């Protein structure tokens, strides 16, 4: 069975929990993932959410790196539209210098929140000067690129440079600190455009089937990316594992997915009709569409979910699955992660 397992954690608050408790469980989950043989542990970015505790992946990544020793830790992902690509590169260069060879930088296009938080995050931007996402991503890639051979010019500390551009005065912009190995970049997406953008950059694509899991669309995008690059994408899927298959089915049935678009704006995926309606209100109303989509969640006992992963592996040649864990309750989350790892190891043997 030629694939590895990784985890995506949104740091949800269980019933009656505080954010402090939810974040402590994220650390516990990361340590369990490391002990259980997962390859990566990624944390997500969500804003103005009472139910999700992490708006700043970089901070939580640093904390998890300090509480683990081997597992790769990264973002799933940074919502680049809100930020300076240069600052994102600085943040992840610093993380990669703190934990060489263990840091991933997953980047997404979605806002990670509703319009109210997006406006707050972008309040100081001039909309007329904001570049398209592909240009932001290309700039980030330049900042993350390997340093020039001479990294001592204009640097009082003699630090390295991952993006060197000299202005009219001879000053050079560097992305410091320069780590022994830069963070591994990934593009998160679920469209042909994302596949083509990832291929142009030479970045791995992570197809977000936990958001858009329609089989025909998954096949279309994954096949296109393989044709462009000669390698498979990573596949992010939602999975709930329980010792009781009926219990897992019941938990999976509670998951919801809605797609909302206001006017001709970018469509956004949310997890409830209430969030979809709030999005419309915060966007100022007007013409809108709310479409309920099937929440594609692999579920059952460990062997059942491994069988489903095997089928996806055989169909698409997937070498790594990023498992989105949609459950909020702590005990069920931990059990699902542990049981899936046990079933995967048993199948390999």
Q: Which pLDDT score is estimated for 75?
A: 98
Q: Tokens representing 154? A: 């204009």
Q: Which pLDDT score is estimated for 146?
A: 55
Q: Tokens representing 73? A: 């830790």
**Could you write out the DSSP letters of every residue in 205-251?**
EEEETTT---HHHHHHHHHHHHHHHSSPPEEEEEEEE-SSHHHHHHH
Q: Which pLDDT score is estimated for 149?
A: 41
What predicted TM-score, i.e. pTM, was given to this entire model? 0.90
Q: Which pLDDT score is estimated for 159?
A: 41
To which residue do tokens 């931990």 refer? Answer: 334
Q: Tokens representing 112? A: 């990670």
Query: Helices marked H in the chain — which ranges?
Result: 19-36, 57-66, 85-98, 115-121, 133-144, 192-201, 215-229, 245-253, 273-282, 302-316, 330-348
Q: Which pLDDT score is estimated for 1?
A: 53
Per-residue pLDDT of the chain (349 residues; tens, 9 = 90+): 589 999 999 999 999 999 999 999 999 999 999 999 999 999 999 999 999 999 999 999 999 999 999 999 999 999 999 999 999 999 999 999 999 999 999 999 999 999 999 999 999 888 888 899 999 999 999 999 856 444 444 444 444 444 555 555 567 889 999 999 999 999 999 999 999 999 999 999 999 999 989 999 999 999 999 999 999 999 999 999 999 999 999 999 888 888 899 998 888 888 889 988 999 999 888 899 998 888 899 999 999 999 999 999 999 999 999 999 898 888 999 999 999 999 999 997 6
- Is residue 41 within 8 A of residue 33, CB to CB? The reply is yes
Q: Which residues contact 302 (CB under 8 A, 6 or more apart)?
A: 241, 339, 340, 342, 343, 344, 346
Q: Which pLDDT score is estimated for 152?
A: 45
To which residue do tokens 């491994």 refer? Answer: 306
Q: Which residues contact 27 (CB under 8 A, 6 or more apart)?
A: 63, 64, 67
Q: Which pLDDT score is estimated for 295?
A: 81
Residue 75's H or E segment, with its range, is strand 72-79
N-to-C CA span, the chain: 9
Residue 9's H or E segment, with its range, is strand 4-9
Residues paired with residue 11 on neighbouring β-strands, in sequence order: none
The sign of the dihedral angle between the CA atoms of 42, 184, 139, 202 is: negative
Residues paired with residue 321 on neighbouring β-strands, in sequence order: 5, 235
Q: Which residues contact 200 (CB under 8 A, 6 or more apart)?
A: none
Q: Which pLDDT score is estimated for 166?
A: 55
Find the radius of gyration of the CA atoms of the chain. 20
Q: Which pLDDT score is estimated for 157?
A: 46
Q: Which pLDDT score is estimated for 118?
A: 92
Q: Which pLDDT score is estimated for 320?
A: 98
What digits encode the pLDDT tens for the residues 103-147?
Answer: 999 999 999 999 999 999 999 888 888 899 999 999 999 999 856
What digits encode the pLDDT tens for the residues 272-321?
Answer: 899 889 999 998 888 999 988 888 999 999 999 999 999 999 999 999 99
Q: Which pLDDT score is estimated for 124?
A: 87
């Amino acid at each position: 069975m030629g694939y590895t397992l990784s985890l995506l954690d949104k740091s949800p608050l269980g019933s009656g929990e505080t954010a402090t408790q939810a974040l402590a469980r994220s650390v516990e989950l990361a340590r369990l993932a490391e002990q259980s043989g997962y390859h990566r542990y990624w944390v997500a970015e969500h804003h103005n959410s009472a139910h999700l505790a992490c708006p700043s992946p970089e901070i939580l990544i640093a904390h998890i790196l300090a509480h683990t020793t081997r597992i790769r830790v990264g973002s799933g992902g940074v919502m680049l539209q809100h930020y300076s690509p240069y600052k994102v590169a600085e943040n992840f260069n610093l993380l990669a210098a703190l934990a060489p060879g263990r840091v991933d930088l997953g980047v997404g296009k979605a806002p990670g929140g509703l319009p109210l938080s997006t406006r707050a995050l972008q309040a100081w931007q001039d909309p007329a000067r904001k570049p398209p996402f592909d240009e932001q991503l290309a700039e980030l890639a330049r900042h993350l690129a390997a340093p020039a051979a001479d990294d001592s010019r204009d640097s009082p500390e003699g630090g390295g440079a991952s993006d060197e551009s000299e202005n009219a005065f001879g000053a050079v912009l560097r992305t410091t600190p320069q780590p022994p190995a830069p963070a591994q970049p990934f593009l998160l997406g679920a469209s042909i455009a994302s596949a083509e953008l990832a291929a142009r950059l030479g970045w791995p694509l992570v197809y977000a089937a936990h958001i858009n899991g329609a089989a025909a669309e998954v096949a279309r995008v994954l096949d296109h990316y393989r044709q462009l690059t000669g390698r498979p994408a990573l596949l992010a899927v939602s999975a709930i594992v329980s010792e009781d298959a009926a219990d897992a089915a019941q938990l999976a049935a509670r998951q919801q997915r809605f797609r909302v678009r206001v006017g001709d704006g970018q469509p956004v995926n949310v997890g409830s009709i209430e969030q979809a309606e709030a999005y419309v209100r915060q966007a100022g109303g007007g013409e809108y569409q709310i479409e309920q989509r099937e929440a594609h969640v692999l579920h059952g006992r460990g062997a059942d979910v491994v069988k489903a992963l095997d089928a996806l592996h055989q169909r698409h040649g997937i070498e790594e699955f990023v498992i989105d864990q949609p459950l909020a309750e702590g005990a069920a989350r931990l059990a699902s992660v542990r049981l899936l790892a046990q079933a995967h190891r048993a199948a390999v043997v």
